[in-house]
Amino acid sequence: MKTAPQVQREGALKRTSRFRRSCVVAAARPMMRKVAPTSASEPFHPLELPTVLMPSVELSADLVSRVEYETEWWYYYGYLEAGTRRFAFHLAFFRRRTDDVWIGSVFPLRWLGKHVRFAHFGLTDFTRRRFRYGHQRSMFNHGGTSADRFHVWIRDWSISAAGTDHRLRAALDDAAIDLQLSPLKAAVFHRPPFGFLDGPNLPARYWSCPRLSVAGQVTVEGQVVDVVGTAWMDRAYGRLALSHEASRAEGWDWFGIQFDDGRELMFHRQRAFGDPADEVPVHATLIDGDGRAEYLKSSDLTARARSYWTSPRTAVRYPISWMIAAPAHGIDLTIEPRLRNHELDTRGSTCLMYWEGPGEVVGTVNDRAVTGRGFVELVGYDRRSVPTGCFDFQSGNLSLLGVLNNERWYRASRDGVLEADGAFPEQETATGNR
């Protein structure tokens, strides 16, 4: 006969919360799936499976900060609409341990604290063809993470969860978002974990909630509008490849695509210094309408740049238009940017100049015509010139000026003209943005 405590424990196990029911995915089943041949004459090749199956994603626990890891991030992008007006946003928070970070190559940063935190926020107004962004850094008491729940913040920017919903808040001088997000699909693990390396007894992890519904408010130039839309969320933690010279990591190209038929595709290329452009390995996850993941073999994938844009401010050249193909899966896609001038210059926080923005997608998947949209992230094309006065990820060095500079930065672009916001007085023109 069972005791009362045993009955209570069994009852607690059965009362799985709505949060877990909507967000827990058993990764073993999709990882054991095989790629079926597309024709009778094509040989059958199983997927390249790891020796250990990925664990399941349990958002109630896995969203919480993993402070034992060197680096971690939380990332969201989304498309929003309010009547005839259209927006896109991305919001990302990062945390980095300071164990191996030095001030002026002399003093360990850990003397000032165990962690440094960063956040990036961008808002695109398609109707007015304007892109705004800001970035922040916290080295002292301006930001933090909760130890027992999902809550990350720097000053008045924050991401958190209550029940099934995620809450996103961020504000610039003349723009802000306050959004509620609810998962429409289970979370999906990706492999390998792009941008990260395994640490001692700490395997790197990367997973996504590939489709969430969005409702909330966007404030632009003093006007508050109610918006609805869809979003994508990424979560990753491990040793950042950019921070370790042995990895030879130069950067990555990342694409998160939501097709209009309910499927999603994540693919990325992690570039190393000296790699020929056509030989960079590509990894991808194709997610069907029911949330089942299919991991595409790198040998079946190609990704090539179709056109480039050079920033007039930083002179960094970005491949912003892309062709993606996986013939074995009938995938042939073209991705075009909605706006060309989507560079984020984060000197003062993460010390990266990168391109991040919305793109339109057309082509075929499984030889069927598809359309969609997503976000493109192009990191590392600036790696040959490291600015002073901020953090150098690879050497782990932070100048004294970088320690003292602990503020926030904002910038905006409209029709190719960078406009002054706060600390940036200069104006520069970019071509080809219309």
**d(C-alpha 342, C-alpha 130), whole Å:** 10
pLDDT (0 to 100) of residue 412: 59
Q: Which residues contact 87 (CB under 8 A, 6 or more apart)?
A: 79, 80, 81, 123, 124, 125, 126, 218, 227, 229
> Per DSSP, which regions of 46-197 are E strands?
71-82, 85-97, 102-103, 107-108, 115-125, 130-138, 143-145, 151-154, 157-162, 165-171, 175-183, 188-189, 196-197
pLDDT (0 to 100) of residue 115: 86
pLDDT tens sequence for the chain (434 residues): 545 444 444 443 343 343 333 443 333 333 333 333 333 333 322 233 232 334 556 666 789 999 898 889 999 999 999 999 999 999 999 998 888 776 666 777 777 778 888 999 999 999 999 999 999 888 777 888 988 899 999 999 999 998 879 999 999 988 999 999 999 999 998 876 666 667 777 888 889 999 999 999 999 989 999 999 999 999 998 887 665 554 567 788 999 999 999 999 999 988 877 766 666 778 899 999 999 999 998 888 999 999 999 998 888 999 999 999 999 999 999 999 999 999 998 877 777 889 999 999 999 999 999 999 999 999 988 875 544 445 555 556 555 555 555 556 565 554 444 443 333 223 222 332 22
pLDDT (0 to 100) of residue 106: 73
pLDDT (0 to 100) of residue 400: 56
pLDDT (0 to 100) of residue 15: 36
CB 381 within 8 A of CB 354: yes
DSSP run (H or E) holding 400: helix 400-404
pLDDT (0 to 100) of residue 57: 61
**d(C-alpha 161, C-alpha 165), whole Å:** 6
Read off the pTM: 0.80
pLDDT (0 to 100) of residue 421: 33
CA nearest to 397, candidates 199, 196, 109, 97: 109
pLDDT (0 to 100) of residue 420: 33
CB 374 within 8 A of CB 336: no
**d(C-alpha 382, C-alpha 315), whole Å:** 9
SS (H, E, C) 219-285: EECCEEEEEEEEEEEEEEEEEEHHHCHHHCEEEEEEEEEEECCCCEEEEEEEEECCCCHHHCCEEEE
Residue spans per domain, the chain: 61-429
Q: Tell me, what amino acid is at 251?
A: G
DSSP letters of 62-84? HTS--TTSSEEEEEEEEEEEETT
| CATH T-level assignment (fold) for domain 61-429 | AttH-like fold (2.40.370)
